[in-house]
Structures are given as structure tokens and as C-alpha cells.
Amino acid sequence: MDGALSVALEVLTFRAGYNASVVTLGATCLGVAAGVVGTFTFLRRRALISDAMSHATLPGVVLAFLLGIAFGLEQRNLPLLLAGAAVTGGLGVFLVQLITRSSRITEDAAIGIVLSVFYGLGVVLLTYVQSLSVGGQAGLESFILGQTAAMRRDEAIALAILALAAIVSTVLLFKEFRLVCFDAEFARGLGWPVFRIDLLMAGLSVFVTVIGLQTVGLILIVALLILPPVAARFWSDDLRTIVILSGCIGGASAWIGAALSAAFADLPTGGIIVLVAGVLFVVSLLLAPRRGAVANGWRRMSLAFRLRRDRALAELLAAEREAGPITIGQQARLWLILSGYLRNGRLTPLGRQRAMAADRNFRLWEEVLRSDRAMVPPEAAFGIDPVERLLSTEQLRSLERGLLRPAGPEHAS
Amino acid sequence: MTWMEFMQVDFPALATAILAALICGVLGNFLVLRRQSLMGDAISHAVLPGIVVGFIVAGSRSTLPMMGGAVGAAVLAGVLIELVRRFGQIEPGAAMGVVFTVMFALGVVLLEQAAAHSVDLDADCVLYGQLEDILWFEASGWWSLFDREALSGLPRELTTLAVLALVTFALLGLFYKEIKITTFDAGLASALGIPAQAFHYGLILFVSLAAIASFEAVGSILVIAMLICPAATARLITDRYGAQLMLSGLFGVGSAVFGYVAAGFVPGWFGADWALSSSGMMAVVSGVFFGIALVAGPRYGVLATRVFRAAPVPRPETI
């Protein structure tokens, strides 16, 4: 175990020999490219089309292999195999669009059809290849689940260069992609060639899928296109930041995953890379500030707490005024005493001040609901946030005018 | 080919494939009509870690532990998808993609560990199924179907699917009307006092069961194909619910039979001594059916709507 760990550490720091370092570097570049390109397909709500596309590469790989044999090329001509994968992968995306546009079949069904039929065809062709008496068939299966062990040095370098090319193209097309992702109709109205931009986006996804076949394999490459952007989305609302973060998460997953699989012989590269990405996703889901589950839960709890405290204060105030019975619960009473708002069953001066503010805020909120609830920004906590801070003085004044009517004389003062 | 050979080799494989295609084909309607086709895809990927854990725990490929593990994984996947969707405020498609890919990756890693210690389970068997390995040694001819002793030796994949088919179709018949209403109008169903949510989860449960029972025999790829292709093909041909169910079952069975013949026998007719993957071929045949319906469907096919300009008569969905 210790030996394996030190190997992992060596690979992580690119000291484990030239070959392992190059393969890890190639995988890392692929991860970054997948994270960057995947961000746009995710935001365009096309995440699962990548699934159809990646499964559709299998028949292309096998057909290219058969073509290579027919022309007497060497057994494992990688560029040819990947070109075949790109052709059928692209065809898969095209068919999903075609089926959705030209018939009543919905997109989810079209994705499922293309995915299963193309993959089935690939499996049939694989069994045909296995019946032939030529070498190199075993290499084909490694495209399904990915295996970096079989990767050659020059292939890894080519992979890194191609991944960098994908990243650079995305950066160059950033403005176009951003517009289409956020408002395709608006872009079309402005005269942008939305269809062609979509096509470019799909083309880049196919490209990333194809160069990822060797490392991650065709079933799991879709994970590298989905997980990093979804994880990055938790940390920011700014597209530029999301793209950069997503690239970092994808790159880190591939880097750590490739190192681990180099160190432990029976860890499949694709699977372990996706698991690392999954861990990063879970961390983001839980711990991201603002959008993360922990922060969300904390915010919800503190809002509920504030609401209960303000209600209790307002009720105490009303009970004092009308000399009615005090109806707040034991817990709320204890908390109010601890915060110094309540002493000997009566509101302290500070407590009275808070209670007046809370009571006024409740009334203002009622007034907001009565006049126009669209005047407060949608992200405000309804009924809890102080209305004064959400509205302009102008709006507040008109609300207060409404408040004067039903309210008693002590509010007018 | 003798009767004995057919009953020992082809009959069990073909019957298993037909049952799997029939169950998945009919259940798939509800996924396609509810626009949840990819639930089948997600489930059939996500059950992998459960199957492998069941295998590791039991130490052999016995049905119950693997089924148990798979059902556990399917339920876990359903819960996780819902959690990720709710806590992450992510669109359902991406939430599904996140959960099933990670679970599948976990399955692949576990599988590799399991395969290192035993030769009984590997990626091939899970991805493509082992239809060719389903054999009925006790059979000596067609009369074995009525021979209690021989029947007790039926391969367990086949008996599992037969039981599941009986239960599925009994429930479908029993709740025919309720399922119909919840599928087309969940709101109306709730107003009528039908627990639409319960039917939804029941459907997901049965899709998982079908996926799991079929998995080992025919592989995940055929499960996905059969859940979606026959239902989508029927959708291009008919507007009537009853006909939709019938046709999808028919297309499922047709894909299984033609696929089996095309994979197993056709190469032999050309003098080859090898066979192709039958579950892959069945998926291809179901795709061919879909393609034919897409192009030449009488009302909704591309030829009917585009080329001959016979605009489809707008007609409300008949329930």
C-alpha cells in the first residue's frame, strides 16, 4: 500500500518517469477541455445529448478498424479509429436533432433511441471483428471503459495538443456561446447564426469525446462533460468564473484519477477519474457558499429563527397594548429573555424598540402584498427581510400612506 | 438442427429475450409518454454497483443477492437524483446525468476489483449480456415444455423474467384505467383521488425490476433499447392508448425474434461459422423498426407529413 501511495505521489508530481508523466499530462488537459466545453452544453440544457453522442462513437471506431484492415493499414491506426468515432458521434447528435424536429418524438426518447441503437450496432460489429483472424481487436474494447495503460507516448502528447486546441477554440468563441446559452431567441433576433453556433458547440463536444475515448472510455466521458460544470455552477453566478472553475475541476479530477490508476494496477482509469470528479461534485454541492446545501440549510434555519423571534416580539407588543394574554411559546420566551428583550414578563426598552420595528415590518409586508408584490426583488425572503432595505424611499412612502389608513393613532405619531 | 438442439440452445435464449423485450417494451410506454425515457437509461447504469456488491457479498452469481443489491442501487439512484435536483436546484436531466454516471463509475471500479478475484463476473457480461450462455440441458424436445422434471431445470434467468412478466401484466390489467389517467394527466388523476405519485414510484420500481431481471441475460444496452424504441415506434403509428400498448409489445417481441435470427442464423446462411451478438442485433432491429416508422408512418411519418404535404389532421390525444 505504501509503495502504491508513493507511486501515486510521484505521478501526481510528474516525477514518475517520462511516460507516466506524459500520460497524466494528457489526461489533465483532456479534463480541462471537457470541463470548459461541457459548461456550455450544460447551460444550453443539452447535457444528456452528449450521452447519445458518446455511445454513438462505438460503431465508428469498429467500422474504422474494419476499413483499416480492408486497406491493409497497421492494426491499430489511432487517427483513423478516432476519425471514425467522430463521424458516427456527430451522426448521432445530428439524428437526435433530426428525430426531434421532424416528428412527435420528444428529445429524451430520441436520445435513448440513438444511444441504444448505435451502441447495439457497435456491439454487433465488435462481435464480427472478434470472429476475424487479425490482431489488435483487443485494443478496441479498451475504448469502452478507457485504459491509459495502453497509451503510447506520442499519443498522449497528441491528446494534450488536441485538448488545448479545444480549449483555445472555446475561449475564442466565448462571446457567441454565452449569448446562445442564455437567450437563444434573443440571439436569433439579433441576427446571430444560432444554428451554426449550436453546431460548433456540438462539434466541440464530439471532439472532446473522441479524444477522451482512450482515457475515460465512451460510457464515462459524458460524466466529465457534466460533472465539472454542475459542480462549478455551485460556486459562482458569473459565466467566466464558472468556465474557469469547471476546467479546473475537470483537470484536477483527471490528474488525480490518472495518478491513482497508475499507482494501483487494478483501478480502471475512466472509473476512477469519474469517481474523483464525483467527490468534487459532492463537496461543491455541500460546501459551496450561498448555493451549497449547508449554506442553504443554514440560511433557511436562520430565516425561520428570525421569523419566529419577530412574531413573538410582535405578539408581546400587542399583548401589552391590549392587556391581553401572552401567547408565545416557552422556547421563544427563553430566547427573548436571553437576548435581553424580555425581563419579568415585560419587554425591556431594547425589546420594545425591536418589537415596534418587527410589528411595523409585518404591517409593511402586508401592505406590499396588498398593493404590488412585484415591487420587491424576487430573491428577498418574503415577510422576513426588512422592507425598508428592499424598496426605494418613494415606494416606501406610498406604502406608509396605505399603512396610515387602518392603523391606530400610535402609528401615525 | 434437431428439436433437441433447438430446445436446449435456442429456445431458452429466445424465450428470455422475448420476455425481456415484452416487459420492457410495454413498460417503456409510460416512460416515453411521461417524457422520462432517460430514466430507463439512468436506472440501468446505476444498478451496476449494486449488482457487483451483491456478487461480492454472495461470492457467486446467484440471483437473490444480485437482485437485492440492484434494487437497493436503483432506489438509491432515485433518491439521489431527487436530492441533487432539490438541493442543487439543477435541471432534472443534468441531475440524472450526475448521479448515474458516478454510480456507473463506482460499479466499474468495483467490478474490476471483483474480476481480479474471480473469473465469474466481468464487464462484458454486464454490458452485452450473455444470452448465448442461457441453456436448458434438461430439454430433449418440444414435449419437455410439459414435463415437470425438465421444467424444473429451466434457466433461472428465464423463470425470473416469467414471474416478473406475470406480475407486471397482472398489475397493468388491474390498474389499467388508473395508470392511463395518471400517465396523461397527473393533475386530473389527483383530483379524482388516484394517488398519481404512488403510481409514478410504482412505475419506476417496475422499470427497475425489469431492467435488473433482464440485465444479466440480455445486457444493459438491450434494456435501454427495449424501454424506448418500441414505445417510440408505436407512438409514430397510433394515437390510441390501447393500440400503443399492443403495438409496443409487438415491436419488442418482433425485435427480439428478428434480432436473434439475424445474429444467430444469417451469418450461417452465408457459410460463416460465427455468430454476431444477439442482444446488440436486437437493439439494431428495434432501431430499424423505428426508422421505418419515422420515414413511412401513416400519419406522423416524415413522408406523410413533409413529402406529401398531407398535414396531420389536428386531433386531440385520445385517452
pLDDT at A33: 96
Query: pLDDT tens-digit profile of B279-315?
Result: 889 999 999 999 999 988 887 888 877 776 555 555 5
Q: What is the total count of domains within chain A?
A: 2
Task: Kindly list the distances between the CA atom of residue B245 and the CA atoms of A183, A332, B32, B238, in Å, as whole numbers in the listed order.
Answer: 39, 59, 12, 10
- What average pLDDT score do residues A306-332 get? 80
The contacts of residue B45 (CB under 8 Å, 6+ apart) are: A219, B100, B101, B103, B104, B107, B220
The vertex-A77 CA angle with A73 and A81, nearest 5°, equals 115
User: Are A328 and A230 within one domain?
Assistant: no
Q: Would residue A349 count as lying in a domain?
A: yes
Q: Does A117 sit within 8 Å of B290, measured CB to CB?
A: yes
> Is the pLDDT confidence value at A407 over 60?
no
Residues A105 and A190 occupy one common structural domain:
yes
For CA atoms A45, A51, A52, A57, the dihedral sign is: positive
Instruction: Enumerate the β-bridge partners of residue B73.
Output: none
Prediction ipTM score: 0.88
Which residues, in sequence order, are CB contacts of A205 under 8 Å at separation 6+? A37, A38, A41, A49, A50, A53, A93, A225
Cβ contact, residue pair A271, B108, below 8 Å: yes
pLDDT tens digit string along A322-358? Answer: 777 777 777 787 888 888 888 877 788 888 888 888 8
Confirm if A192 and A175 have CB atoms less than 8 A apart.
no
List the single residue in A42, A104, A120 with the smallest CB-CB distance to B280: A120
One domain for residues A261 and A309 = no
Same structural domain for residues A181 and A45? yes
- DSSP designation for A236: -
Grid-cell match 447495439, residue found: A120
Tell me which chain B residue has its CA closest to the CA of residue A260.
B109
**What average pLDDT is seen over chain B?**
83
Shared domain check, A172 and A24 = yes
Q: Over 80: is that where the pLDDT of A7 sits?
A: no
3-state SS assignment for residue A347? strand
A301 and A158 share one domain: no
pLDDT at B319 over 50: no
Based on its alpha-carbon atoms, the radius of gyration of chain B, rounded to whole angstroms, reads: 21
Asked whether B101 and A38 are in contact (CB, 8 A), the reply is: no
Tally of CA atoms within 13 A in the half-sphere of A237 that contains its CB: 3
Q: A193, A118, A205, A135: which is closest to A169 by C-alpha?
A: A205
Residues A376-406 pLDDT 10s: 777 777 777 887 777 788 888 887 887 776 5
Give, to the nearest 10 degrees, the angle between helix B63-88 and helix B92-117: 150
Name every residue whose Cβ is closer than 8 Å to that of residue B302 and which is 6 or more positions away in sequence: A102, A103, B294, B295
For residue B280, the chain A residues in CB contact (below 8 A) are: 119-124, 126-127
Q: Calculate mean pLDDT across residues B40-53.
A: 87
- Predicted pLDDT at A310: 86
- Look at residue A285 and tell me if it is in a domain: no
A325 and A260 in a single domain? The answer is no
One domain, residues A175 and A318: no
For residue A99, list chain B residues with Cβ-Cβ distance below 8 A: 294
Decide if pLDDT at B256 tops 90: yes
My answer on whether A334 and A224 are in the same domain is no
pLDDT, tens only, A94-138: 999 899 888 888 889 999 999 999 999 998 998 888 887 766 666
* Alpha carbons B282 and B267: distance in angstroms, whole number: 15
Q: Which of A236, A235, A227, A234 is nearest to A254 (CA)?
A: A227
Q: What is the CATH number of the domain that holds A100?
A: 1.10.3470.10
- B101, B107, B287 member nearest A222 (Cβ): B101
In a domain, A282, yes or no: no
How far is the CA of B192 from the CAs of A167, A226, B34, B196, in angstroms?
A: 54, 40, 19, 10
Which domain-ending residue is among A270, A287, A306? A270
Say yes or no to pLDDT of B126 above 70.
no
A257 & A332 share domain: no
Section A136-160 average pLDDT: 77
* For residue B71, pLDDT beyond 80: yes
Name, in order, each residue with C-beta under 8 angstroms of B7's C-beta and a sequence gap of 6 or more: B136, B139, B140, B141, B142, B144
User: From 1.10.3470.10, 3.30.70.380, 3.30.70.1090, 3.90.25.10, which CATH number describes the B3-227 domain?
Assistant: 1.10.3470.10
Q: Are residues A74 and A205 in the same domain?
A: yes
Q: Which of A44, A117, A133 to mutate to test the interface with B (most CBs of B within 10 A)?
A: A117
**Residue A148 scores a pLDDT above 80:** no
Residue A356 contacts B where some CB pair is shorter than 8 Å: no
Pair A238, A334 in one domain: no
pLDDT digits (tens, 9 = 90+) for B76-112: 998 898 888 887 778 888 888 899 999 999 988 888 8
Lowest mean pLDDT among A50-54, A390-394, B21-25, B128-132: B128-132
**Residues B222, B252: Cα–Cα separation, whole Å:** 10
pLDDT of residue A379: 74
Q: Is A124's Cβ below 8 Å from some Cβ in B?
A: yes
Average predicted confidence (pLDDT) for chain A: 85
User: pLDDT value at position A138?
Assistant: 66
As a dihedral over the C-alpha atoms of residue A193, residue A163, residue A85, residue A181, rounded to 10 degrees, the angle is: -30
User: DSSP state, B303?
Assistant: I
The CA distance from B149 to the nearest CA of chain A, in Å, is 36
pLDDT one-digit tens code per residue, A193-247: 988 898 899 999 999 999 988 888 888 899 999 999 999 999 998 999 999 999 9
User: What is the DSSP code string of B6-47?
Assistant: IIIIIHHHHHHHHHHHHHHHHHHHHHHHTT-HHHHHHHHHHT
Of B224, B244, B257, nearest to B293 (Cα)? B244
Domain range for A201: 2-270
Residues of A with Cβ-Cβ distance to B236 under 8 angstroms: 103-105
Cα atoms in the 13 Å half-sphere on the side-chain side of A268: 29
Predicted local distance difference test score (pLDDT) of residue A24: 86
Q: Which 3-state string (H, E, C) describes A84-138?
A: HHHHHHHHHHHHHHHHHHHCCCCHHHHHHHHHHHHHHHHHHHHHHHHHCCCCCHH
CB contact under 8 A, A120 and B236: no
* Residue A352 falls inside a structural domain: yes
The three cell numbers of residue A400 are 406608509
